[in-house]
Structure 1
Amino acid sequence: MPTQTDAAKPMAPNEKVKVHVHNPDALGPVFEVSEQRWQEALDRHPDIAARVDATFSGSPADLEAGLQRADALFCWDVPREALAQRAPNLRFVHVHGAGVSHLRPFDWLPPDVNLINSRGVHGSRAAEYAMMAILMINNRIPEMMTNQRQARWEQLFNTAIEGKTLLIIGVGNVGGSVSGFAKNFGMHVIGIRRTGEPRENVDEMHKPDALADLIPRADVVLMTAPHTETSHHMLGKAELDLFKPGAGLVNYSRAALVDYDALEAKLRRGEITAVLDVFDPEPLPESSSLWNAPNLIMTPHCSSDDAEAYTPRTLDLLMRNLGNIADGNPLENVVDQTLQY
């Protein structure tokens, strides 16, 4: 399915762009588009605000009413059946997040409707978390936390991180930001990205087919790739077995990029350490054996969503795209439905 990026005919000067914001309570305060946040976004974009007519919903019934008139929809998820009939004027759907794998396959999306994500919005918070996790692995903190839970005094020593190798799988906005931090700590940075094109602060850039050759060189592997059909279990048992003894894994991106069953087996054998922020399903059930897996630190998918800035920055992106609709300009952050991100 092709990506829709062409500019459309601009709206008349007195015609307002109708946007509907679906904002269920279950999303929580970090992701809430409150009245105050919406007004502050309008205040930051006064020229666009004058051309916007917004409606809001928290329930399915109110959502349906809003869809009937909407040019743009802002949401995390939406019932997808017969969307073209339910939202006849729709121009784009902006997903309140960077990942869109929960919306695949994209056959529900009408051919003239763009899908927008929030990639690039996370800012420095994501890079800070990833670098913290890399430093924790180098300082053997996951192992020390295992010893602490078992009341076991065992001094664990390591060497400085300078000169060690970081492999970043998926050098996009977040991976590229982390590479700058890693270079400041004197690390050798290897990157993998679909195009293989070089990027600042990455000493070597490769395509995904080089993964098996690169893993044995890494002291830490950082997953910042999108989850697609082709990247599913990109780190399976065979790839995890290529990690050198004592190496660590940080998964910031999506759980399905890694075979967690195979990872857990290696954690329990003491062959690897890990910091994980993403799981499947979420919330992670109490019955999951990962809760007591050794050599592992888990954070509950909160690594990069800045409590104060994430939603305001996302609304800034939404406002720019509402302005783009009004003026007939190309949209920002259009998801390539073929690449699935």
Structure 2
Amino acid sequence: MTSKTADVWLPFPAEEIAGLPDTFRYRQWDGEDDFPADPAACVFYVTPYMKSPEVTLRPLADMPDLAVVQTLTAGIDHVLGGLDRLRPGVRLCNARGVHEASTAELALTLTLASLRGIPGMVRGQDREEWRSGFYEALADKSVLIVGYGSIGAAIEDRLAPFECARVTRVARSERTTTRGRVHALVDLPRLLPEADVVILSTPLTDGTRGLADQAFLGRMKDGALLVNVARGPVVDTAALLGEVESGRLCAALDVTDPEPLPPGHPLWHAPNVLITPHVGGSSTAFAPRAKRLVARQLTRFAAGEPVENTVLTTG
């Protein structure tokens, strides 16, 4: 694709992205009501970041010449519902390489904060209460990472200095990495009772929706911590509420179902639950990494080379 009559839609100003090829006309659109130009001229669509599926998918039906949809998220579940509006051959690319560090940082933050009782200490500070005592350490704990892609591997990178007793990896199918075995999802019933901390970093698919259901949670050991930096619907909220309200499990959630969590929802005040508002990727690391990815992808696209991170091609 080399025509200057072709448009590229970006969620941030083109002048903020170093290294963009001068092959295209760049249009900025981050989900506003009005489109920046005729969608029919768009050949490369970088989706708005952290907008609803309805907003993200709105222009697709009017983009007959679209060749690439580039998300700025690791997950692609928010765009899958609109792919039937596209012609065959459109490549869908995710943001692999953008969110690993930030999401892994938050996974570790949630784990440490929950184990060491930081939420209660913050509430104690607000009330001028000195809440001393003994708290759980991450050292000597067994950690199970469910969803061992690039984010899961980045989480293990950050666990390495914390002297965990064991880190066990689970993905959709079994494989071997330089770190050792990655178990398949079918092994979870055997692995869950052995883990002190279970970290969910799996994409949301038909196979992972409701993965952490009553049976999954029921196999976790008493007092174990569930950390979710994946997607809210990976966890059965009603089943989780039953486990945390009984005091058997603890949870640290960056994502929830529903999301945003509405006022009055019982998760807000459930015991031993720490909630952050889906900020795994929303850090200062996001923008520079996202812009480098976009520049690299468009440079390859302009040169007629294969784009990176292709998750699927419509057909």
TM-score range, shorter chain: 0.7 to 0.9
Q: 2:167 is matched by which residue type in structure 1?
A: V
Q: Is residue 20 of structure 1 aligned with residue 9 of structure 2?
A: yes
**2:57: which partner in 1?**
78
Greater relative contact order (Cα < 8 A, sep 6+): 1
CA displacement at 1:53 relative to structure 2 = 1.8
CA displacement at 1:148 relative to structure 2 = 8.1
Q: Relative to 1, partners in 2 of residues 1:177 and 1:276: Cα closer, same or farther, differing over 3 Å? A: same
SS of alignment partner, residue 311 of structure 2: coil
CA displacement at 1:59 relative to structure 2 = 3.6
CA displacement at 1:139 relative to structure 2 = 2.2
SS of alignment partner, residue 109 of structure 2: helix
How does the TM-score come out when normalised to structure 1? 0.80
Counterpart selection for 1:328 from 296, 304, 315: 304
SS of alignment partner, residue 336 of structure 1: strand
**1:316: which partner in 2?**
292
Give per-residue Cα distances to partners, 1:160-191, cap 9 Å, x unaligned: 43232110000111110111221211111100
**1:91: which partner in 2?**
67
Q: Relative to 1, partners in 2 of residues 1:61 and 1:234: Cα closer, same or farther, differing over 3 Å? A: same
**1:305: which partner in 2?**
282
Where structure 1 has 5 or more consecutive residues not aligned to the other structure, the ranges are 1-10, 24-32
What is the correspondence of 1:113-128 to structure 2 with a 5 Å cutoff?
113-128=90-105
Q: Is the 8 A contact 1:143 1:296 kept in 2?
A: no
Q: 1:335 is matched by which residue type in structure 2?
A: V
Q: Relative to 1, partners in 2 of residues 1:149 and 1:244: Cα closer, same or farther, differing over 3 Å? A: farther
CA displacement at 1:116 relative to structure 2 = 1.6
CA displacement at 1:74 relative to structure 2 = 1.4
**2:212: which partner in 1?**
235
How does the TM-score come out when normalised to structure 2? 0.86
Query: Take 1:230 and 1:185, find their aligned partners in 2: how far apart are those partners?
Result: 32
Query: Take 2:92 and 2:79, find their aligned partners in 1: how far apart are those partners?
Result: 10
Query: Take 2:122 and 2:34, find their aligned partners in 1: how far apart are those partners?
Result: 47
Q: 2:260 is matched by which residue type in structure 1?
A: P
Query: Take 1:96 and 1:311, find their aligned partners in 2: how far apart are those partners?
Result: 10
Query: Take 1:150 and 1:230, find their aligned partners in 2: how far apart are those partners?
Result: 45
Q: Is the 8 A contact 1:192 1:208 kept in 2?
A: yes
Identity level (%): 32
**2:225: which partner in 1?**
248
Q: Is the 8 A contact 1:166 1:219 kept in 2?
A: yes
Give per-residue Cα distances to partners, 1:192-230, cap 9 Å, x unaligned: 0123223344x5420110011111010100000000011
Query: Take 2:220 and 2:73, find their aligned partners in 1: how far apart are those partners?
Result: 31
CA displacement at 1:157 relative to structure 2 = 2.7
CA displacement at 1:144 relative to structure 2 = 6.0
Query: Take 1:261 and 1:98, find their aligned partners in 2: how far apart are those partners?
Result: 26
Where structure 2 has 5 or more consecutive residues not aligned to the other structure, the ranges are 49-55
Q: Relative to 1, partners in 2 of residues 1:49 and 1:119: Cα closer, same or farther, differing over 3 Å? A: same
Q: Relative to 1, partners in 2 of residues 1:337 and 1:135: Cα closer, same or farther, differing over 3 Å? A: farther
SS of alignment partner, residue 335 of structure 1: strand
Query: Take 1:110 and 1:312, find their aligned partners in 2: how far apart are those partners?
Result: 32
SS of alignment partner, residue 57 of structure 2: coil
CA displacement at 1:140 relative to structure 2 = 3.9
Q: Relative to 1, partners in 2 of residues 1:128 and 1:59: Cα closer, same or farther, differing over 3 Å? A: closer
**2:202: which partner in 1?**
225
Q: 2:8 is matched by which residue type in structure 1?
A: V
**2:259: which partner in 1?**
282
**1:40: which partner in 2?**
16
Q: Relative to 1, partners in 2 of residues 1:87 and 1:115: Cα closer, same or farther, differing over 3 Å? A: same
CA displacement at 1:143 relative to structure 2 = 6.3
CA displacement at 1:337 relative to structure 2 = 6.5
Query: Take 2:275 and 2:58, find their aligned partners in 1: how far apart are those partners?
Result: 31
Report the RMSD for the aligned CA atoms in angstroms.
Answer: 2.7
Q: Is the 8 A contact 1:20 1:73 kept in 2?
A: yes
**1:53: which partner in 2?**
25
Query: Take 1:109 and 1:205, find their aligned partners in 2: how far apart are those partners?
Result: 36
Counterpart selection for 1:191 from 169, 172, 195: 169
What is the correspondence of 1:102-117 to structure 2 with a 5 Å cutoff?
102-105=78-81, 106-117=83-94
Query: Take 1:17 and 1:170, find their aligned partners in 2: how far apart are those partners?
Result: 38
SS of alignment partner, residue 198 of structure 2: strand
Q: 1:199 is matched by which residue type in structure 2?
A: T
CA displacement at 1:335 relative to structure 2 = 1.8
SS of alignment partner, residue 243 of structure 2: helix
Query: Take 1:332 and 1:213, find their aligned partners in 2: how far apart are those partners?
Result: 36
Aligned residues: 304
Q: Relative to 1, partners in 2 of residues 1:88 and 1:293: Cα closer, same or farther, differing over 3 Å? A: same
Q: Relative to 1, partners in 2 of residues 1:150 and 1:130: Cα closer, same or farther, differing over 3 Å? A: same
CA displacement at 1:124 relative to structure 2 = 2.0
Q: Relative to 1, partners in 2 of residues 1:327 and 1:139: Cα closer, same or farther, differing over 3 Å? A: same
**1:30: which partner in 2?**
none
CA displacement at 1:332 relative to structure 2 = 0.9
Q: Is residue 62 of structure 1 aligned with residue 35 of structure 2?
A: yes
Q: Is the 8 A contact 1:277 1:302 kept in 2?
A: yes
Q: Relative to 1, partners in 2 of residues 1:225 and 1:150: Cα closer, same or farther, differing over 3 Å? A: farther
CA displacement at 1:145 relative to structure 2 = 6.6
